[in-house]
Amino acid sequence: MNRKGSIVAVNVSDRKGVAKHGVPAGTLVVEHGLAGDVHAEGGKRQLSLLALESIDKMRAKGAQVKPGDFAENLTTEGLELDSLPIGTLLKVGPEAILAVTQIGKACHKGCAIRELVGDCIMPREGIFARVIQGGGVKPGDIIEVVHVSGGDSNGER
For the chain, percent helix, then strand, then coil, each to nearest 5?
Answer: 15, 35, 50
**pTM of the predicted model as reported, rounded to 2 decimal places:** 0.88
Cβ partners under 8 Å of residue 6, min gap 6:
76, 77, 78, 140, 141, 142, 143
pLDDT of residue 156: 41
Q: What's the burial of 86, exposed, middle or buried (CB within 10 Å: 0-12/13-18/19+)?
A: buried
Task: Show the domains of the chain with their CATH numbers.
Answer: 4-147 (2.40.33.20)
What is the mean pLDDT of each successive set of 10 residues along the chain, which is 157 residues long? 92 88 97 93 91 91 86 95 94 97 74 66 88 98 91 43
Q: Please, are residues 75 and 50 in contact by the beta-carbon 8 Å criterion?
A: yes
